[in-house]
Chains A and B, each alone.
Chain A
Amino acid sequence: MDHVAAFLGATLMSDLPLSPWDDRSWLLIEDGVHPAREREVESLFAIGNGYMGTRASIAEGGRFSRPSTFAAGIYVADGNLGPRLAVLPPWLHVEVTVEGRRLSLEAGRVLAHRRQLDLRQGVLWREWRQQDPSGRITRLKSLQLASLADRHLLLQSVAITAENYAGEISVATRLGPADGRTTDIEAIVAESGAMLLRISDSRVGIASASKVQALAASRAACHEASADSGKEQWSWEARFGETVRLDRILTVFTSRDAASPAEAARDHLTTVHAGGFRAAVAGHVDAWRRKWEAAEVRIVGDEAAQRALRFATYQLIAAANPDDEHVSIGARGLTGEAYRGHVLWDTEIYMLPFYVFTDPAAARSLLMYRYHTLAAARRKAQAHGYDGALYAWESADTGDEVTPRQVVGPDGRLVTISTGEREHHISADVAYAVWQYWRATGDDAFMVAAGAEILIETARFWASRAQIETDGHAHIRQVMGPDEYHEIVDDNAYTNGLAMLSLEHAADAVTSLGQDHASGWPRLSERFGLAEKETHRWRALAAMLATGLDPPTGVFEQFAGYFQLEEVDLAGQWERSTPIDVRLGAERISRSKIIKQADAVALSALLWEKWPAAVHEANFRYYEPRTAHGSSLSPALYALVAARLGDLALAQAYFRQAAEIDLADNMGNSAGGLHMGALGGLWQAAVFGVAGLRLRETGIAVDPHLLPGWVELAFKVQWRGRLLRLWFEADPRRIEVGVERGEELTVAVIEGPSCVARGGQRFCLHADRSGWGEWEETAQ
């Protein structure tokens, strides 16, 4: 990594170039510093832009801190455990020294300390008043941001006030590991007017650079720089009560972006610097404003739900980079080291819908990551003796399977990990996501270029994976479904259901492309290597796949033999301190009907239109009391389905449970990073569950069930180039739809009337005791 770090000068300015958003409901606030919670706070307050993510560590470092920065797609090898996201130094590291004594939370008295994550503007704020052991009081105010307008740009501004003294203040920044913290940087060298940080495996370099900007300084600050360590220092004689502000620009490029990251960083710095620090900040704030315009979910009447959804939306926006189709979003995003940056089904099933409906470009990039890793999926399928593409359960930069096969468990025993070998539904999950994206966006160009190939190759996998047996049904044996408490089962309901869809969608896509792109079809067909009647075989196989549906009850047997397992009453288990699988043991759990997470119920959430509501009701009532929610992904899907079924009390309970996974963390596992899938699930619970949003061939349909206390729910979605704003009011029941841009589409209400609206039109619909009335066009 190449780097020239520098503050942009010293001046008598008391204010930072931006203020925190003036509505506190947009701020996540942490007062004080608690060593026990610090790593959790670092995750919660992380900042990022999809290109880089930085934990919100105390800028000067501390014993209890786990500072780190991650760059999407930058992995290092890590022995048998496979690749992991490289840990880069915290770029916002700043040390302040007053009269030769380093300012520290651990020396003297903390008079005030507050961190604020400004969700609206994507800024991390810090205010700190510290009295050192000699009685000097120093006040620091700072902002940090990873620009959403320019993903290669990081900005930092620090205002330092000598409240009750005059004396020498110095400020040092560095890129190297601080306080002995471990990073994956092997060497820092000066190159091309920047600093080059070399990553451990030497495959990737990352560059950043900054430059001194002369402000209207009252007097010059002394500046020293050490090219070898990336350390720079500024010092000045502070006057009594004086505030000095220092602004810092860093530009970052990696060898994934440029042949010479150092030169790219240096050149980009020149450009950014010419525009000025304030302009760079303003660009970032404007980019967040635009994102929120497209993605905000507004809830009136439930502050906690509102806060949770804003937090989820912030983190989802900060995790994606629409401009890079070779990276995806790991299970913990760029907020922590846990899960090693590995990409799982969380992305396609839990996070992707948010992007499909609010930022299709980001959704497309995420799916393109799966397209670019298709070769690895083909290799995996082939290695297992199957055709087509079997995606890695855990994927990193190449798409090859990176799930470890064995690990040492917490009790010291060697544990075999079967997910990488058996959790094949990932291929159907990716196909489902491709189909959902295409259906929602109508992006034919994507389908021709990439989507169809994913659908075809995953369908080929299922065609070879499922076997038609003597009972006349096709079976998929020896798999693991989302319920990982039952490791190797036959005919998992979720896997078979999604596989069926994968086969059908591939056939549909081929038919559709053949019709819509008739002139280019021969070439496309050749590219896909389609065999004669291949799509017929897919459709036939889909029709023969065992579903596990028990006709008398309408319940899907989660896998063959599930109904014969032991009943274990989960009631009263929630207050116990140990997870049920640990308490009862894996063997006992596998013999019981206790399930880890939504499995058959996930089918309801994903394939609502495929079966009547009675089937969903039956499955929800059957599996809900048997679900231990041992996965953070589970509560949100139960909230979604409960809301669709109109069980609002249960929906609200699960919604709250999902909302609290990170925000009310009391089990310590947010310290390793945030649960990005659960955050995406929360958005789905609100939009697909509470608002009941569904896709139709000519538009959308809604079926609102506002949760208790929710007075109003409003959000925007995009559908095939149209931008819609939807309002739902609880009492009296009212729906309003405004089409902000685009051609005509149909907006339907389940068991209610439809309207056809186009850009610039707004319609509203009222309900009374007898039901919904008629849509009325209203003035904009």
Chain B
Amino acid sequence: MTASNTILVPLDGSVAATAAIPVARGFAQLLHATVAALHVSDDALAPAALIERMKLSDLRGLVVERRPGSAAAVIAQEAAERQAAMIVMCPQIRTDLRPRAFGSVAEAVLRSVRCPVVLVPPGRGQKLWALRRLLVPHDGTPTSAAAMRPATDFAVMAAAELVVLHVATSETARLIEPGTLVFPRYVDQPHHEWPAWGREFLDRLRAIGGARDGVEIRLAVAHGDAGSAIVDFAQQSDLIVLGWRGALEAQRARTVRCVIRDTMCPVIMFRLDRDR
């Protein structure tokens, strides 16, 4: 994790956007960080007026700031300058745009920042948030395994349960990357084969992803469409940990878009380095 003690929460002035704040507070507690609420607007709205507009009642530990300019650019700039530990924001605010995963600001922020971004469904509201169970969906690729290090860091910090979810899809096997671990071709005796495969799957993840030692990880397997399975499974989770390769084009990030669009669970997105 970065040494920074700032968690940036971009707010657009709407009530819905404040759904990010309880989650940001939860992370702040874990990271011993400060939550900086950033309102990017050319309107010279006073902080008190902004607070009133967003109906923010609990202001403990919250720093509220305003910056003029283009929202995505300013958020990215502030995150870089402050070396923010993470950005916590809603992926999109307008509920009439439900079929979309990302609003334009969130998508632009995701594309431009290097720090993790936590996307909080606006429908989550003001409910308190604590990290008790992390869900790490994993497609078996070595690149995606990079999410294991921060995931295990969080699991240790929060004393949370960590579940890795591998979804068996019906798609034709694509050689996404060399070393990708897929389901076994031969399952001689399933009651022996699956535990052995599961153990190896997790061992490979730990090895490639640099997972912290001593963290107990549980493997869950689901079948069918990956996005739907993740959303389904996340109903019992407090945080989805997603590694993504920096591309949000419709085809390449189909699963990511599906999860962001449909889940009610916060999603932390770590940008993966393809050259790892």
What residues of chain A have their CB less than 8 Å away from a CB belonging to chain B? 35-40, 63-64, 66, 331, 336-340, 342, 344, 394, 403-404, 407, 409-412, 415, 417, 419, 575-579, 581-583, 585, 629-633, 661, 666-669, 671-672, 675, 677
Contact A579 B220 (CB under 8 A): no
Contact A36 B204 (CB under 8 A): yes
Contact B186 A63 (CB under 8 A): no
| Cβ–Cβ < 8 Å partners of B198 in chain A | 410
| Cβ–Cβ < 8 Å partners of B193 in chain A | 338, 669
* Extra contacts besides A631-B187, A667-B183 (8): CB < 8 Å: A63-B206, A64-B207, A575-B173, A577-B168, A578-B168, A631-B186, A661-B186, A675-B186
- Other-chain contact of A35, B168, B199, B208 (Cβ < 8 Å): B208
A407-B191, A667-B181, A671-B196 known; A39 vs B203 contact (CB < 8 Å) = yes
B58: Cβ under 8 A from any A Cβ = no
Contact B188 A577 (CB under 8 A): no
Contact B168 A667 (CB under 8 A): no
B172: Cβ under 8 A from any A Cβ = yes
Top 6 closest pairs, chain A to chain B, by CB:
A35-B207, A577-B173, A672-B196, A410-B221, A338-B196, A632-B186
A338-B196, A577-B169, A671-B196 known; A415 vs B190 contact (CB < 8 Å) = yes
CB distance from B192 to the nearest CB of A (A): 5
* Beta-carbon nearest neighbor of B213 in chain A: A63
Contact A668 B219 (CB under 8 A): no
Contact A331 B207 (CB under 8 A): no
| Cβ–Cβ < 8 Å partners of A394 in chain B | 189
Q: How far is it, in angstroms, between the C-alpha of A331 and the C-alpha of B193 when the chains are bound?
A: 11
Contact A64 B203 (CB under 8 A): yes
* Beta-carbon nearest neighbor of A344 in chain B: B189
Main SS class of interface, B = mixed
- Other-chain contact of B187, A331, A407, A579 (Cβ < 8 Å): A579
| Cβ–Cβ < 8 Å partners of A417 in chain B | 191
| Cβ–Cβ < 8 Å partners of B169 in chain A | 577-578
What residues of chain B have their CB less than 8 Å away from a CB belonging to chain A? 142, 168-174, 179, 181-201, 203-204, 206-208, 213, 219-223
Contact B204 A667 (CB under 8 A): no
| Cβ–Cβ < 8 Å partners of B220 in chain A | 410-412
Contact A579 B189 (CB under 8 A): no
Contact B191 A404 (CB under 8 A): yes
| Cβ–Cβ < 8 Å partners of A337 in chain B | 196
**Most central of B182, B190, B191 by chain A CB within 10 Å:** B191
CB distance from A541 to the nearest CB of B (A): 31
Q: How far is it, in angstroms, between the C-alpha of A336 and the C-alpha of B169 when the chains are bound?
A: 29
A577-B172, A582-B223 known; A36 vs B192 contact (CB < 8 Å) = no
| Cβ–Cβ < 8 Å partners of A36 in chain B | 142, 179, 181, 204, 207-208
* Beta-carbon nearest neighbor of B173 in chain A: A577
| Cβ–Cβ < 8 Å partners of B189 in chain A | 331, 339, 344, 394, 419
Please list 14 pairs of residues, one from A and one from B, whose beta carbons are closer than 8 Å in the complex, sorted by A's number: A38-B207, A331-B189, A410-B220, A411-B222, A576-B171, A581-B187, A585-B223, A667-B182, A667-B185, A667-B197, A668-B181, A669-B184, A671-B200, A672-B197
CB distance from A229 to the nearest CB of B (A): 22
Q: How far is it, in angstroms, between the C-alpha of A63 and the C-alpha of B208 when the chains are bound?
A: 11
| Cβ–Cβ < 8 Å partners of A579 in chain B | 183-185, 187
Contact B206 A64 (CB under 8 A): yes
CB distance from B175 to the nearest CB of A (A): 10
CB distance from B268 to the nearest CB of A (A): 24
A630-B186, A667-B182 known; A410 vs B170 contact (CB < 8 Å) = no
Contact A577 B183 (CB under 8 A): yes
- Other-chain contact of B207, A63, A575, A581, A629 (Cβ < 8 Å): A63
Contact A630 B187 (CB under 8 A): yes
Contact A66 B191 (CB under 8 A): no
